[in-house]
Amino acid sequence: MNRREGRRQVGTMSSAWRNTGLMTAALCGLANGVIAPASAQGALPPVTVDPPRQAPRPAVAAPRPARAAAPALARPRAVRRPQRAPAPVASTAPVPAPTGQGAASGRERGDGPVTGLVANRTTSGSKTDTPLLETPQAVTVIGAEQIDALKAQSVGEATRYAPGIRSETFGNDTRNDFFLIRGFQAEQRGYYLDNLQLFSQAFATFRVEPFGLERIEVLRGPSSVLYGGSNPGGMLNAISKKPLFTPFNHVEAGVNEFGRAYGAFDFSGPVKVGSSPADGSFAYRMTGLLRGGGTQTDNVGDDRIFIAPAFTWKPTEATSLTMLGSYTRDSTNLQNFLPYRGTVVPADFGGRIPTRRFTGDPTFDTFNREQAFIGYQLEHRFDNDVIFRQNARYSHLDINFNSAIGLGYTNEAAGNLGRYKFLTLPRANIFNVDNQLEKRFDTGLLSHTVLFGLDYRRYRLDDNQATNFSDTPFVGVSDVNVLTGAQTANAPLTKASGRYINASTVQDQLGAYLQDQVRFGRFTLALSGRYDAVRTDTANFVAPDESKLGTEGRFSGRAGLIYTSEIGIAPYASYSNSFNPQIGLNGLTQRPLRSETGEQVEVGVKYQPPGSRSYLAFSAFDLRRQSVALTDPANFLITQQTGEVRSTGLEVEAVAEVTRGLNLIASYTVYDLEITKNAVDTTVLGKRPVNTPERFGGVFVDYTIPDGPFQGFGFGGGVRFVGRSFATALNDFKVPSYTVGDAQVHYERAGWRFAVNASNVTDETFVASCSGLTACFYGERRRITGSVSYRW
């Protein structure tokens, strides 16, 4: 870094923190007496964090087992056990018990642990701690116990049985988390960590480690009204594990059939001050994972280092400050880009390409990612019961991606695949800060939860891309034979060879939002509005004439009404719109691209019987994505915004602890996706976007024997289905549907858990998707993972 760049970065951070200070001062100034006093009944409890996977211990004469037999997906809570003393076990080590007001009241927090399988509350739909049955929008919550039981190695794997979200879009990809929500690619602006956006652009992609998460929430439908520019299909919000004020320790190790092994730990508890025990005001958490080894594809590893320290300080019952940090380093290789012929259908060489074949160049192919997060969550309750929250985070990302990429056959009968070389070295930095004031109060028969927020995001991307791709593509890199893997070594690209992108982009977004959740009787009316100002400054060092500065302002709104009956049935209806800022130029006007927009109408019903451990939901929607950026097929350098895609569909989900020890997860999604406008290419009107299935779903059942000589032994299995999709815009090349099964067996006793999990247990070979006739991607073959863990 030269001195000028250093001064520029320092100035950028100084400006960002100055804006943060101004917003904080402004909001705190509003906190005294602007809104009417709250009723005592409507006041929120102070911030506490409950330990995961634990339940209060009833007072009984006989000692309770340290880890009683329980289902993998939801361990039965103590309050649901028969009123009898449990049989003693070999170990009588004490089980950590929850502490803090949240635990004492038994109430789940919308950003905290999920007890068992079924969640009751969420923060993603409103940024307030709200019951699912009072949220007039489709939300799915996946708790840490479900993530752990499925042994999910990625966020995509954790969402396999969730409705409305199609993860693992590009098959067995070890580089990124790709996912569709309601038919629209969502990882670019629909990926969030702790309610703050992880903006991805080009090849600068963040990835979150599931072992470090307390829950995953999938909010379906437009979310700009609370979060600013985002994907119209919805958002995936990952919630980090936070410090606990009761000791909690977890160690785990495992290995799969490809030789990929991992070890992980999760330690938390109070912090001692000096030589005396802590008084309950300090707590820590340290989570980490180390993974390394092979995959189903030769020469492709999946190595990761992950460490996440966290610290909480509660000086008073009214104030809490949690510091959250993490560092992740990934090392893997490019996913294969394979032809349609030879994967979906047989090729001229008489068969299909083996799934183990690596089509990159092992002498230089690499994908390395380094990312780091540091941030905090501050909450303070004023004397008039106004709650101020400030969430802030600085995110850094550095990627080195250098590969030889398949581009179709040069000799199909011989199995020779042509390739081109590609290099990208993106570096991204994001600063997010979200300031909130929340107040609960009554006006006559109406109870209000008012939220006012002011947030700011600054995103900077320094991007370099190089390639030897040209009008005569197969020059400068040798072919690879897809049958034998034979190839001639090639030299890697450098920034100086074939560079076609050298640019720096800075995008600032400042938004103000207001929301009122009005309760009258059993009705809840949610009204939200937001205004954003967006500024995008792009410096293009390859083509200085294309350096542009663009500004725009956008309004987002939402209105939703839900009725929660005494028996737990909650019908609802909502309307919302969104915007999604773009980076780039309109090829015709040579002006910065304006934002895409989205608009949705949704109706549905949720059902959660009082006192039960079950949740069922149904939603129907009509969603339009407008002003879509399109590339001219005659000239890929020209982009226009003349597209519209319509998505209408139905989603059903059921999550239930059916009986003691028996648990169920089920979902089904069906869409009607259609390109309704495209002035660049009218031949695709009425067609479905490529790489997008219209039907998918799954059912998973798990049972753990709760009593008797086999107490603690359990087994489960599931079936996942994904419907057909298309490889071309004209929908003339189909990618067949596929169905795979999962299975698991496990045994729990005295804090120990032994498990064997099998994904795609029958070892089906299938193509997950194709984004073109030379870009098809195999799905994951059978993967059997054995693991052992211990908690105390």
Over residues 131-137, the mean pLDDT reads 96
Residues 6+ apart with CB under 8 A from 543: none
- Interval 111-133: pLDDT, tens: 999 988 999 999 999 999 999 99
| Residue of 84 and 175 predicted with greater confidence | 175
CB 482 within 8 A of CB 411: no
User: Which pair of structure tokens corresponds to residue 269?
Assistant: 């508890």
Mean pLDDT of 264-284: 81
Q: Is the pLDDT of residue 178 over 60?
A: yes
Confidence of residue 148 (pLDDT cuts 50, 70, 90): very high
Tell the burial category of 86 from Cβ atoms under 10 Å away from its Cβ (0-12, 13-18, 19+). middle
Q: Could you tell me which residues come within 8 angstroms of residue 177 by beta carbon, excluding any fewer than 6 positions away?
A: 154, 155, 156, 167, 187, 191, 205, 207, 208
Summary mean pLDDT of the chain: 85
What values do phi and psi take at 145, rounded to 5? -65, -40
- pLDDT tens digits, residue range 723-762? 999 999 999 999 999 999 999 999 999 999 999 999 999 9
* pLDDT tens-digit readout, 688-711: 999 999 999 999 999 999 999 999
Chain segment 46-89, per-residue pLDDT in tens: 333 343 333 333 333 333 333 333 334 444 333 333 333 333 33
Give the pLDDT mean for 636-642.
67
Nearest 5°: the CA angle 667, 173, 215 is 45
Name the band, by pLDDT with cuts 50, 70 and 90, for residue 637. Answer: low
Task: Look at 653 and 584; give whichever has higher pLDDT.
Answer: 653
pLDDT for 69:
36
| Exposure string over 574-587, b if 16+ CB within 10 A, otherwise e | bbbbbbbbbbbbbb
Residue that is written with structure tokens 């349609």 in the block: 340
Using DSSP's 3-state secondary structure scheme, residue 51 falls into coil
* pLDDT tens readout for residues 518-560: 999 999 999 999 999 999 998 888 877 777 788 899 999 999 9
